[in-house]
Amino acid sequence: MRIHVATDHAGLEFAQTLIKHLTDQGHDVTDHGPKTYEPLDDYPSFCISAARAVVRDQSAGLASLGVVFGGSGNGEQIAANKVEGVRAALAWNTSTAQLARQHNDANVVAIGARQHTEDEAISSSTNSSRRRSPSKSVTSAGSPSSPSTRRPARSRATRSTDA
């Protein structure tokens, strides 16, 4: 499957980890940037680029999905949804990622890198690439975690609403 990934500085390491994971799984991944850490970069252009690519691929009959990362995922979802033909869902656990595919036919998933561990984000991204199937089986995969561009994951009880 083709998968288009975009982020900003807040999700850069998550995005790079996911890209490696998906590439290792045999997916055809396009990185829409940013490629390097720039604390003042902003997410809209990256996310819109990925969203447009998903629509372009799907219009051509190709299996294609998008994943956009940010600190919260909120702005990234909003930006992606500006593109006609995109149905971007904010996933905050594996269940909401699955439901976004099963009930909403989402073609882009937005994930808040500062709200999750990398393992959670990869699980949500991986599961969001699966549409309703007879078995409804899901898998998740782990990955090494690197902390330099993200804040540590907090427990649900202490998690704040910052992006």
Contact between 22 and ligand 5RP by CB under 6 A: the answer reads no
3-state SS, residue 28: strand
Position 45 contacts ligand 5RP (CB under 6 A): no
70 binds ligand 5RP (CB under 6 A): yes
List the catalytic residue out of 4, 32, 76, 116: 76
Residue 136, classified by CB atoms within 10 Å of its CB into exposed (0-12), middle (13-18) or buried (19+), is exposed
Q: Work out how close the CB of 100 gets to ligand 5RP at its nearest, in angstroms, rounded to a whole number.
A: 17
Residues 6+ apart with CB under 8 A from 109: 65, 66, 67, 68, 88, 89, 90, 91, 97, 100, 124, 125, 128
71 touches ligand 5RP (CB under 6 A): yes
Binder among 33, 34, 66, 75 for ligand 5RP (CB under 6 A) = 75
The catalytic site residues sit at 76, 103
